[in-house]
Amino acid sequence: MTQQEALFQFLLRMGDNTLILGHRTSEWCGVAPVLEEDIALANTALDFIGQTQFWLGYAGEVEGKGQDADRLAFHRDAWDFRNLLLCEMPIGDFGQTIMRQFLFDAWHSIYIARLLKSSDPRVAEIAEKASKEVAYHLERSADTVVALGDGTEESHSRMQKALDYLYPYVGEMFLADDVDAAMVSAGIAPDPAALRDEYDALVQKVLDEATLTVPGNRFAQKGGKNGAMHTEHLGHLLCSMQWLQRVYPDGNW
């Protein structure tokens, strides 16, 4: 794998994470529990889609085959996506959505902070643009996890159930491969494994306040970030997300 190919794969991973999670979050538009959450989740989704535009736009430039962000988003099949499995899981109930958001935000905030010092100026620039949004996402999702976890008996039960369900997908964030090694060697991105202790400390602090128990099993579902295996949920998501472009390729309003 050349340096250019590794950078392309890295950029796809960053862009696909925000694209797929942004789409998932947008599914709450118009149906959230209260109006404030409806607006907040819609804004979070828009933040993610904006970040996707930068990551996939740069990916298209690096690939050099004339693909822009829209084409990479709407014309790839499921096996070509490089998002974490966590991002493609269904929204479930509101507790599951918020717990997934927090688990991702905690990782995202740590990772983006490292990318601010990337040796690649474009990567550092995108990270800088995203950093304030990412910080806000973490603050909001962490506060909501605490409010629900340490709330009523029912809200606590639902949040613990959501944590138990989603936690096996956390480990994939810290699994490294040849793409990660190439990015570390070039000073473009950090070693994912080196971020685990900081992540665990951040998550543990919030979950302690939320009176929730971190599952003891460190088993990690994997396959999303390298495209080796996705869940069936991604295919259904792409059917919805890509339908218009697939029916009317390159159509203009």
The CATH code belonging to domain 3-247 is: 1.20.1260.10
Q: With contact defined as beta carbons under 8 Å apart, do 93 and 77 qualify? A: no
pLDDT at 2 over 80: yes
Average model confidence (pLDDT) for the chain? 96
Integer Rg of the chain from CA: 18
89 pLDDT above the threshold of 80: yes
Grade residue 249 by pLDDT with cuts at 50, 70 and 90.
confident
pLDDT (0 to 100) of residue 15: 98
The rounded distance, in Å, linking the Cα atoms of 232 and 149 is 29
pLDDT of residue 251: 77
**Residue 50 CA from chain centroid, whole number:** 13
Q: Tokens 């900081």 correspond to what residue?
A: 198
For the chain, the structural domain boundaries read: 3-247
Asked if 1 and 179 touch (Cβ cutoff 8 Å), the reply is yes
- Inter-CA distances, 147 with 38, 126, 141, 155, 212, Å: 17, 32, 10, 9, 11
Interval 23-53: pLDDT, tens:
999 999 999 888 889 999 999 999 999 999 9
Angle at 35 between CA 87 and CA 37, to 5 degrees: 30
* Cα angle value 63/66/67 (rounded, 5°): 75
C-alpha span between 178 and 176 (Å, rounded): 7
pLDDT digits (tens, 9 = 90+) for 187-200: 999 999 999 999 99
Neighbours of 52 (CB within 10 A): 23
Condensed to tens digits (0 to 9), the pLDDT of residues 106-125 reads 999 999 999 999 999 999 99
Look at residue 138 and tell me whether its pLDDT is greater than 90.
yes
The reported pLDDT for the residue numbered 194 is 98
Does the pLDDT value for residue 246 go beyond 90? no
